[in-house]
Structure 1
Amino acid sequence: MGKRRRVPQRRTGSPAVIGSVIAAVVGAAGIGGYVLYGSGAAADDTAAGTERESVRTGPLSATEVTTASQRFLTAWQRGQVTAAAAATDDATAATTLLTGYAKDARVKGVTLTPGVRQGAKVPFTVKGTVTHGTVSKPLTYTSALTVVRNKADGKPLVRWDSAVVHPDLKDGDRLVTGATGTPPVKALDREGGELSVKEYPSLAPVLDGLREKYGKTAGGTAGIELRVVRGKASKSADAQLSDKTLLELSEGTPGTVETTLSPALQAQAEQQVATRERASVVLLRPSTGEILAVANSSPGFNTAFQGSLAPGSTMKVVTSSMLFEKKLASAEKTHPCPKFFTYGGWKFQNDDKFEIKNGTFKAAFARSCNTAFISQAPKLKDSDLTRQAQQVFGLGMDNWAVGVPTFDGAVPVQSQAQMAASLIGQGGVRMNPLNMASVSATIQSGTFHQPYLVAPAVDGRTLATASRRLSAGALAQVRDVMAYTAAYGTAAEAMRGVTGDVGAKTGSAEVDGQKKPNGWFTAYRGDLAAAGVVQAGGHGGDTAGPIVAAMLKAGG
């Protein structure tokens, strides 16, 4: 037998270790440098031939969080989509979005820098370059991931959420760089001035909505942008969110869209909501439906137009109109307002359990007596409030054509206790300041005029209408009780100094798991109507009331 030649083993290189930091510099095209804390944390958890460990349970350790986050971030940065996706608890969804990050969003040279761990959450900074043809621009933003324990084997994994890739993404959305297909628009106020996010931060979602609807018809040309493209069957679609520009690589030529917004009143609205957290307000003109101002103290989402919140006692304006028409109440006649009233197995009560003995309905409305309304539930059909809201106030039919996405209110048919709760703006009733400003506008003008931000003549769209007007007798009584509330009731303090033909209603809407209720206020003054909400703010007269009153004064 011949001698067997010994073949020397090939030495495998390993990353240089400096202290407790591993520095991995990857030289492949499109991959940037990356610095991680820890030592060897991104390596495979198990080696060949070792026995499988028992399933781990319990809270994650700091080491497990660090290891799992490093594994994911390292693979993502290196362009190893399969490995990055495998480090999450939803490999399929992660693969789709991470693949599109390089292919569709065209983000190259990615550098991911983790921040300080906060329990199971790890924030990180993303830096890269977006390139389209010969045009390139740097991209920088921050995001965060959360590590969870896999139920099947106890392994720490990154909990997959589209927002991990970019905080503006919701599941079903994607990032795309290219010719937008939707040219930019220059939105003008009613005086011809340009509306900008810099001057009016609240208008960011409004301007996005205007571009989405009118960009292709306003006469502009498309530019090159990195955009969030909303999925048609996604959380974004459910929230009616518009596509969003994240980075402009080259400018398009904007078209022009005229709006009904007043620059002075819009500025006032921005100032007013800035005084409260989670505040929103809308001001409009009852005689036409023109929206004069809209603002949110949290401008990332247009709660004023798209919010879906229980309106609390401001809904009593609609309910009162129904009771008056059905002869179940009369402004000047005695009406029950007991401490409690039980219906459908629920025991309803008034704020601080007050009662009004031998008082009129006007007094009960002005003090916002819940039981004055709940006590009429046994005499009503389940569909009565729904029909009133739709037929007289144009609510809940999903047919408003404002010019940008809106939620048009919801007053579903309910029964028993839920129907009773709907009478006082709880149960399944959902509104936003636009809806409730429209309610006051309908009472002030005597008929429903669908609110709009862009005149229907611009694109020939048809505005929603109500099928009937409120009867003259009922209308006069609603105006009477709203005026009395503004002068002597729960709205009096906020409405002090608001002169002329006025009416108002306060509201407080309880929310599960929230210490303070959402504060609501709706009112009119002459040919102006407004409504506002301060989420988790407390009583509407103290929170939303001053905001609405200030807008009515400014518009006078």
Structure 2
Amino acid sequence: MNGAAKGAVIGGVFLAMVGATGYGVYALVGDGGEGGEATTSALSAGSGPVKEKEAEAAAKAFLAAWAAGDERVAADLTNNPTAAQSAVGEFRSRAYVSKAVITPGPANGTTVPFKVEAEITYEGTTKPLAYDSTLTVVRGLTSGKPLVDWQPSVIHPQLQKDEKLRAGAPSSPPVRAVDRNGEELTAEKYPSLRPVLDQLRQTYGAKAGGKAGAELWIEPAAEGAPRRSLLTLVAGEPSTVRTYLDAGVQAAAEQAVTKYPESSVVAVMPSTGHVLAVANHRRDGFNAAMAGNRAPGSTMKIVTGAMLLDRGLVAADKQAECTKEVSWGGRTFHNLKNFEDPGATFATAFARSCNTAFIKPVKHVNDDAALSDEAREVFGIGLDWKTGVNSTDGKVPVATGAEEAAGYIGQGRITMNPLNVASITATARTGVFRQPLLVSPELDGRKIATAERRMKPSVQQQLVSMMRLTAKSGTAREAMAPVGGDKGAKTGSAEVGGAGDSPDSWFTGFSDDLAAAAVVEGGGHGGDAAGPIVATVLNAR
């Protein structure tokens, strides 16, 4: 029997078919059986890079063993037998796959695509499940044989490290999430809301009175993380969870982030703290908009500016020292392209994002905790926000020397995400910190964070005037040009990784009673990528 026709032997019956492409179709039925010819001995040892024919043969052997339900043989055809044996075995026993047809495609070098057409059967209910995946073949370090490079995504493309495929009756009943106006929010219509909707289900499904059905899901690796539903087997009875999201703003945010890879945005209403939109466009599906933690770059100058204004060390209309460079703590800091502005006021230094004008006053602060205190006491950063879904608080740790100076311009150990930065802008807009909320605290009685003090009126007025100037004639001018209303903004770029990496693009702004912030990882300067995202969201309301 040639390699193109090899398949699984189940109960003594050969179940492989030869397709038009010459590649086998392997079927898993019932309780499984032996792997037949799909054994490690069928693959000869070698050296050097894996050849395409070797990859093709190894993939066929593995898929045949998997289809046969022979987890031991399948595992030995991988470079991680322990993990592979467990996953292949649980494909039937824990994901309740009663039938699967696995069709390999032509190899592309060492990568082999394949299609799985399965049936999930649980307590008398059977539903179809079809998906495409890929595997890669590598040379065994000790055996020299071509082996499948084991990754959870071989079993299902959405599986990540230490995640499991499971079926049954979930502990959390389904929920019907609606926006502030009662419009239903679904992952099909708003794809980047999927992690938020999963979290709403986990947190409020049982509390809101729904009834669980049966489904196939991905069990997360992290304790407390939400399950990700893949297939409904038996529909449950959902309860309705009302959010503060706005379907119109959410739709604009979804559209805006698709233009830039690895981008995230959040929109907040300054007068209430209500979160109106959360959107991400990322390969990993991570909700970086609410749970990311990256240096915010010059968007942090909103907080630094407030602290310096609060202490009377600067004033919007007073001259600032915008030199080409400044040294502090043994490190030299520069402005973009080493620009200088000898006649700058603090307002124009803010609008042009002059780093040196924000670092020069460090020598007069005489308080290592000044920036950290301002962030926490006025802007609520680090107060354990409970938004209604998982979110990560911003961090502004106490620092000294060069690290303190770096913190003044949003570098060093400071980390934020678009939710944090949007809230900072919302606080600057009104002078009062209102903790961001995605669902009402009345739903579960959770405690909401409150800031220790409100911003001084004179500080708030100067801060907003500087943000307006930035939007009108500063670094945010081009991005904010199409935005109407009373508007203000701040750009930022944050250096990450090595010197050759593109900086993260940050941008935050407000228009009337809407504030938004975005980040595009590796997107360059703030106005280039993140700016257009924020402008689109601000124009949506």
Q: TM-score, normalised by structure 1?
A: 0.86
Q: 380-389 or 158-167: which moved more?
A: 380-389
User: Could you tell me how far 1:31 is from its partner in structure 2?
Assistant: 9.7
Where do 1:38-437 residues align within 5 Å? 42-45=38-41, 58-232=48-222, 241-298=225-282, 300-378=285-363, 381-397=367-383, 399-437=384-422
User: Could you tell me how far 1:125 is from its partner in structure 2?
Assistant: 1.6
Q: Is the 8 A contact 2:6 2:64 kept in 1?
A: no
Q: 482-491 or 448-457: which moved more?
A: 482-491
Q: 113-122 or 124-133: which moved more?
A: 113-122
CA distance in 1, matches of 2:329, 2:52: 51
Distance change (3 Å), C-alpha of 1:200 and 1:37: closer
The SS at the match of 1:138 is: strand
Residue segments in structure 2 that go unaligned for 5+ positions in a row? 25-35
Q: Does residue 491 in structure 1 map to residue 491 in structure 2?
A: no
Give the CA RMSD over aligned residues.
2.8
Q: Which residue identity is paired with 2:171?
A: G
Aligned residues: 524
User: Could you tell me how far 1:482 is from its partner in structure 2?
Assistant: 1.3
CA distance in 2, matches of 1:426, 1:98: 45
User: Could you tell me how far 1:531 is from its partner in structure 2?
Assistant: 1.2
The SS at the match of 1:99 is: helix
Q: TM-score, normalised by structure 2?
A: 0.88
CA distance in 2, matches of 1:146, 1:381: 55
CA distance in 1, matches of 2:534, 2:302: 17
Distance change (3 Å), C-alpha of 1:167 and 1:459: same
Q: Is the 8 A contact 1:224 1:251 kept in 2?
A: yes
CA distance in 2, matches of 1:536, 1:296: 15
Residue segments in structure 1 that go unaligned for 5+ positions in a row? 1-15
Q: Is the 8 A contact 1:85 1:95 kept in 2?
A: yes
CA distance in 2, matches of 1:297, 1:539: 18
Q: Does residue 544 in structure 1 map to residue 530 in structure 2?
A: yes
CA distance in 1, matches of 2:153, 2:228: 14
Distance change (3 Å), C-alpha of 1:377 and 1:169: farther
CA distance in 2, matches of 1:120, 1:452: 48
Distance change (3 Å), C-alpha of 1:461 and 1:336: same
Offset from partner CA, 1:426-476 (integer Å, 9 cap, x none): 223222221111010011121111111111111111112222223344333
Distance change (3 Å), C-alpha of 1:242 and 1:202: same
User: Could you tell me how far 1:77 is from its partner in structure 2?
Assistant: 1.7
User: Could you tell me how far 1:27 is from its partner in structure 2?
Assistant: 3.2
CA distance in 1, matches of 2:243, 2:416: 23
The SS at the match of 2:127 is: strand
CA distance in 2, matches of 1:207, 1:66: 40
The SS at the match of 1:145 is: strand
Partner of 2:448: 463
Distance change (3 Å), C-alpha of 1:358 and 1:406: same
The SS at the match of 1:21 is: helix
Distance change (3 Å), C-alpha of 1:146 and 1:326: farther
Partner of 2:11: 28
Percent pairwise identity:
47
Q: 440-449 or 161-170: which moved more?
A: 161-170
Following TM superposition, the consecutive aligned residue runs of length 4 or more in structure 1 with deviations greater than 6 angstroms are none
